[in-house]
Structure 1
């Protein structure tokens, strides 16, 4: 009894194998790129598509062979045979579906998937019900098993290599065809290994004369399922997941991930074009005072205005928070400058949100490819650096990156890195500048000032490293250390040199924000044993404007320790005179900008008013930045007698300060 193959059904089985392979290749990338629950969903979908595809191909191949005998199939065994292929595919994908997989993982995954396919095939063969028995040719049986293992290993390897490929590529199609040939090769080799024995004769026994309805129905459903999952995955990926992954939900602008995809499509190179990095000015204050809902609506309106400024050749991305990026294709500097002007003008117009009329500006940094780099990271870094320079220069402006900015940025990074070990290596020192009472001609107090002697860069300006310390938060441990050292030194002077004076230490806004002020001051006084009235904290008006009620509460808490407070740089900050009487301060310090220009009548009038305010509020007054006798005369004539500046002394080390005081005492004695 001899059978024959229906060539059209054979081709159909091959088409199903290719289709299943191609669909599984598409889903493999989604498995690798996803995580959590989404990853599990894609794992299940990919496993079902692969397993059901191989199962459908197998039974279509069975139907392709016709014999003159009736063949039926056990329904339970047939259904269970598909589960083996699906389960094996799931385990194999689970083992190998990661960004980096070793050859050992591929081998293990291929072994599991291959065993699952072999089990599915021969379980399906055992589901056949016909007169006679099936025996197998061992060499052909082993060859079919080997083909299944090799095909599974190749499939997993191709899944990994093509995981980031687009939905359609020629290589993906070729790979699917190769996998289809391998799967069909395993199937038809396995069928050739089977021998049918009936009435003492041995025949090739593959297939049935009249296919069962349920088998045709099962294969049809499986095929449609594969197509449905594949098309559904493409639709879901393009219209749902892509929207979630690559677009900002608030502004509906492309996000940072889409920027990465944009560069991936260009092989991570932008050979011509520019980045305009946009950061809103004062947005945090609006967000904090009016609430996040108003802040979100403001960002939406900003995004709408950005869209009005760009042309078809430019793209807008929201990088996060109040940061946006415009990618321009033009290489012309004049065009980029005009675009930056348009962006600045659009954003600074009034915003009407609920009952609020808001005004916000932005700072823009521009980097230009290829002069400032061609990769995403270099261009972003250069544009960010230029944007920061725009903020330093006064905000509401744009800056184009240059090498000077690069050097400043590198120096800033070096300072930030080395600052963390500077305290350990003893690179920070404390200098003391005296405050002199011209009325009694004696020391009235001192101000402690931190200095940094960098082992390679030399002396670093306080205005430079203090700003870095505040940005990084290092100012908190630095201030804690300084308070303890100053209190110890003051205690030493009292016990050994009979110097009893108050020393002031500058406080950063970061100390108040940390809510550690009382703890740090109390700790320094306890460790040193210094009475609190010998310590003074200097704050600036910019600190007082941050959160007046919180600042007042924290300053009142240290009043319990008898610590004094002075308001530095008075007249140059933003504090309101209406709250000055509420601040628990003991001293006003006249900023040196007024002292240096004290020859001007207008500045003399301001100085007189500051002194009058201090006297009316029963506050002491100190003039800083005194350098000439004329300045001393002007200040004394208006009632200010405590002064600080280079006329008396520059900041000195503790040892030099001791020697300086001895000289002063000797001069008075003489």
Structure 2
């Protein structure tokens, strides 16, 4: 920090602006650049002060004059108090911190006075320099403010996730997909939810928290494990399939196929019962690695679907570039079918299967009118609240058994 012997208003203003941060040990503003950005003369004390401070602290503690540090103190603890707490509640620790700060001021003083003396000799030069410093300081303070805001946000997110992991549980819900022409068809899309310690079910808003922390792949791995464990209860031998959504980061990972293969083997689930769903957004990642992973999953026996197609990211060339098994048309496309242009677009998209060979699923069917329109477009497989809301595991298994029972009755009746 610039020592308290400055008489220049701009330097006093800088010191005052930094004071609230320094009171809570937030020194990035002062350590990372300002002394050197504003004048290279201060490079030497910038390096010298921490070295001399270390020698002083080490020597005093080695001589036994101050208790050694035995407690980890939060980094935002104010100076002097942190010294007191870290040295076993010893006032000597606070005194040592005062001595270190005073020593730093004494080392900086001659260098600063030299800089201030040179700058005051040229009136035009000082005015120009003041403008540059003002602009640099404004930009720098803005970056610091943004950085601190980001840190605080991540800290809050981290606390939320930690609380979720320790107090509640992540559970999977399953929304049926229905083939209006094939009663033997059994398929579900898995959807992750969170149940808190009081049994309340929460929507998947926490997914963005995992993304902020850079832990979305870990969430995907946990979801895959939960789904595969649940699939033991599904009639997979009767052809039941379950889709799992994974993120762009996961489908781009080099090890994703090996990891999925290992988990399938661990849970003894046939690969043909699992479907991996990736969103259009994922296609903006590493194209070559994604293509390799899709092909490897398909060789393994796992089906791969593109989810939420038409929501705004991908384009038709992606359907030719990647060898998808299934395309799921986003509900947003259905919202415009009341108009002729919207109907024409949906009918055009319904012909995707003729070009790519992909199976089609119409997502978001909520009304009888929407169901009738989708069927008229030649799409047989549907998903949405019209057929069922997402179901807990027990209810999803019961749905499967009911469908199988109805199919058996239909077969028996047709045979008679």
Q: What TM bracket, shorter-length normalisation? A: 0.5 to 0.7
Distance 1:515 1:237 in 2: 56
Q: Which residue of 2 aligns with 1:482?
A: 223
Distance 1:457 1:519 in 2: 35
Cα–Cα, structure 1 residues 454 and 414, in superposed 2: closer, same or farther, change >3 Å? Answer: farther
**Cα shift at 1:457:** 11
Q: Which residue of 2 aligns with 1:619?
A: 358
**Cα shift at 1:452:** 1.0
Structure 1 residues not aligned, in runs of 5+: 1-26, 44-92, 108-155, 170-229, 240-306, 319-323, 328-364, 366-375, 386-408
Q: Which residue of 2 aligns with 1:447?
A: 189
Q: Which residue of 2 aligns with 1:316?
A: 136
Q: Which residue of 2 aligns with 1:561?
A: 300
Q: Which residue of 1 aligns with 2:322?
A: 583
Kindly report which structure 2 residues correspond to 1:280-295, keeping only aligned pairs within 5 A, or say none: none
Q: Is the 8 A contact 2:252 2:286 kept in 1?
A: no
Q: Which residue of 2 aligns with 1:436?
A: 178
Distance 2:132 2:389 in 1: 61
**Cα shift at 1:629:** 0.7
Distance 1:424 1:168 in 2: 49
**Cα shift at 1:550:** 1.6
The TM-score normalised by the length of structure 2 is 0.66
Distance 2:166 2:100 in 1: 48
- Equivalent position SS for 1:633: helix
Cα–Cα, structure 1 residues 326 and 446, in superposed 2: closer, same or farther, change >3 Å? Answer: same
Of structures 1 and 2, the one scoring higher in RCO (CA 8 A, sep 6+) is 2
Q: Is the 8 A contact 1:539 1:568 kept in 2?
A: yes
- Equivalent position SS for 2:190: strand
Kindly report which structure 2 residues correspond to 1:221-236, keeping only aligned pairs within 5 A, or say none: none
The TM-score normalised by the length of structure 1 is 0.43
Q: Which residue of 1 aligns with 2:86?
A: none
**Cα shift at 1:313:** 9.2
Q: Is the 8 A contact 2:167 2:197 kept in 1?
A: no
Kindly report which structure 2 residues correspond to 1:58-97, keeping only aligned pairs within 5 A, or say none: 96=56
Greater Cα radius of gyration, structure 1 or 2: 1
**Cα shift at 1:525:** 1.0
Q: Which residue of 1 aligns with 2:279?
A: 540
Q: Is the 8 A contact 2:234 2:240 kept in 1?
A: no
The structure whose residues are more often strand, as a share, is 1
**Cα shift at 1:416:** 3.0
Q: Deviations over 1:102-157 (max 9, x none)?
A: 595569xxxxxxxxxxxxxxxxxxxxxxxxxxxxxxxxxxxxxxxxxxxxxxxx99
Q: Deviations over 1:588-615 (max 9, x none)?
A: 1100111233222222122111111222
Structure 2 residues not aligned, in runs of 5+: 1-41, 67-95, 119-127, 411-416
Distance 1:157 1:434 in 2: 65
Distance 1:610 1:619 in 2: 12
1:468 to 192, 195, 209: 209
Q: Is the 8 A contact 1:315 1:326 kept in 2?
A: no
Q: Deviations over 1:403-424 (max 9, x none)?
A: xxxxxx87x7555324246456
Cα–Cα, structure 1 residues 447 and 157, in superposed 2: closer, same or farther, change >3 Å? Answer: closer
- Superposition CA RMSD, Å: 4.0
**Cα shift at 1:474:** 2.6
Distance 1:431 1:423 in 2: 18
State whether structure 2 residue 104 is matched by structure 1 residue 164. Answer: yes
**Cα shift at 1:480:** 1.7
Q: Is the 8 A contact 1:556 1:584 kept in 2?
A: yes
Cα–Cα, structure 1 residues 97 and 600, in superposed 2: closer, same or farther, change >3 Å? Answer: same
- Equivalent position SS for 1:604: helix
